[in-house]
Every structure is written in structure tokens, then in C-alpha cells.
């Protein structure tokens, strides 16, 4: 049963993201799904996200059915921590929550809640969910999917940082210098 927890966390996190996107779109009148109009590197990052998440979902389902991982509890705890971080960070973002960035779309940047510890807590949480799945599934292809996901996160963060710097200037640069990109890691 414990081996099924990373899959459950992935599903709950995915549903919460869909709900959050719909909620933000309704309250702001803006489409929160900016990946749809992405180009260049952001489009590649979005494709890498989608492919790696599908692979991680299959790995999580396979591990849940197999239910024999010797690291199931570790994977479950890591994925639960990651899922909680994603959901809390989405709530902290309020109307600023977006999936991707697009020109002219920068309602605000968030500096409270989990964003005091990381400029990208949603990505940190998603990577922890993926890590929990990789620990439970423990196959080379799951670890490769996690690596692809992490690299896509890194690329997307670079895109978002440039976007926020362009839109918020000095205020964002100060925030960027004060708060680590991940947790304890500035670069």
C-alpha cells in the first residue's frame, strides 16, 4: 500500500493544479495556462515536462501494482512532502499562479509564505514528488525521466526569471539576491 502513495500524491497534485488554473482563470479573467502559447526554449521545457510527467506517472502506477519496493516508505514521505509544498505554494501565489509565462503577463511576484525560502517552491515540490516516485520505482528509465524533469524545471526557471526581471526590475533583482532559487541554492 505504501508504494501507491507517490502515485496518489501525483494524481492529487495534478488535480490541484488543474483546479488552481481554473480558479485563477475565473477570478482574473486571464488564461493561467501560458504554456499553450509558448515558443522556443519554453516550448521545449513544456514538452519535456509533459513527457517526463507521463513517464513518472507510469512508473508510479507500475510501482503501486508491484508493491514490493524496499524504499517505499522513503518514497512515500518524500512525495507527500513535495505534494504538500506544491499545493501550499499554489495557494500562496493567489492570482499570480501561472503555468509558464507569456509576454505582457506579470500580475505580480510573490514574496511571502514558502516564497521566503525559495523563489520556486512549486518546482521544488514537483521535483520532490518525482524523486519519491523514482525512489519507489527504482528503474533507470524513471531516474532518466526525473533528470529530464529537473532539467526542464531549470530551463523554465531561467525563462521565468528573465520575464520577472523585465517586468519588475530592481524589486525582483533584490528579491532574487535575497531568496535562493531552490532551497539554500542561489544559482
- Indicate the pTM of the whole model: 0.89
As a whole number of Å, the end-to-end CA separation of the chain is: 38
Q: How far is Cα 87 from Cα 57, in angstroms, rounded to an integer? A: 18
Q: Are 95 and 28 in contact (CB under 8 A)?
A: yes
- DSSP 8-state assignment for residue 33: B
Residue 187 within a domain: no
Residue 142 lies in a domain: yes
Evaluate if residue 184 carries a pLDDT over 80.
Answer: no
Among candidates 86, 79, 69, which has minimal Cα distance to 133? 79
Instruction: Indicate whether 115 belongs to any domain.
Output: yes
According to the model, what pLDDT value does residue 104 have?
63
Domain that holds residue 52: 2-15+36-178
- Domains in the chain: how many in total? 1
Model confidence over 21-54: pLDDT tens digits? Answer: 788 778 777 766 655 666 677 778 888 888 999 9
Mean pLDDT, range 123-127, rounded to an integer: 95
C-alpha cell at 152: 526542464
Amino acid at each position: 500500500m505504501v508504494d501507491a502513495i507517490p502515485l496518489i500524491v501525483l494524481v492529487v497534485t495534478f488535480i490541484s493544479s488543474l483546479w488552481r488554473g481554473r480558479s485563477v482563470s475565473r477570478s482574473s479573467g486571464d488564461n493561467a495556462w501560458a504554456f499553450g502559447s509558448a515558443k522556443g526554449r519554453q516550448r521545449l521545457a513544456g514538452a519535456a515536462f509533459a513527457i517526463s510527467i507521463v513517464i513518472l506517472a507510469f512508473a508510479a502506477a507500475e510501482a503501486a501494482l508491484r508493491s514490493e519496493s524496499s524504499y517505499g516508505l522513503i518514497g512515500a514521505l518524500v512525495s507527500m512532502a513535495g505534494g504538500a509544498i506544491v499545493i501550499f505554494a499554489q495557494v500562496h501565489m493567489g492570482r499570480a499562479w501561472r503555468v509558464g509565462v507569456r509576454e505582457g503577463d506579470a500580475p505580480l511576484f510573490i514574496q511571502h509564505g514558502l516564497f521566503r525560502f525559495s523563489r520556486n517552491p512549486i518546482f521544488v515540490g514537483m521535483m520532490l514528488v518525482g524523486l519519491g516516485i523514482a525512489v519507489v520505482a527504482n528503474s533507470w528509465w524513471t531516474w532518466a525521466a526525473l533528470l529530464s524533469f529537473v532539467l526542464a524545471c531549470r530551463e523554465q526557471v531561467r525563462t521565468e526569471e528573465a520575464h520577472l526581471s523585465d517586468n519588475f526590475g530592481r524589486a525582483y533583482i533584490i528579491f532574487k539576491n535575497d531568496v535562493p532559487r531552490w532551497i539554500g541554492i542561489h544559482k
